[in-house]
Amino acid sequence: MISEFQQLAEKVNRLAELAHALRRENADLRRALAEAGAEKAELTQRIDEAHRRVAALLDRIPADGRTEEAA
């Protein structure tokens, strides 16, 4: 009977260790997800800025392809 309790105690200890390991892994994954989200937001902002700059440059090009001086 004592050995059954010891086996049960060992199983409970392994389960507790696994639970702690999973909690640590979950916390690490949450941090990584937050970092990836921040990086995504920064890259999206940079893409939007590049898009605005390209659009502004395109607006400066005459529609018929000639410069204003040559017209």
pLDDT digits (tens, 9 = 90+) for 32-56: 999 999 999 999 999 999 999 999 9
Residue range 55-69: mean pLDDT, rounded: 80
Say which DSSP state 67 is in. Answer: -
Average pLDDT of the chain to the nearest whole number: 92
**pLDDT on residue 40:** 98
What's the pTM? 0.65
Q: How many Å apart are CA 9 and CA 14, to the nearest integer?
A: 9
Q: How many Å apart are CA 49 and CA 60, to the nearest integer?
A: 17
**pLDDT on residue 2:** 87
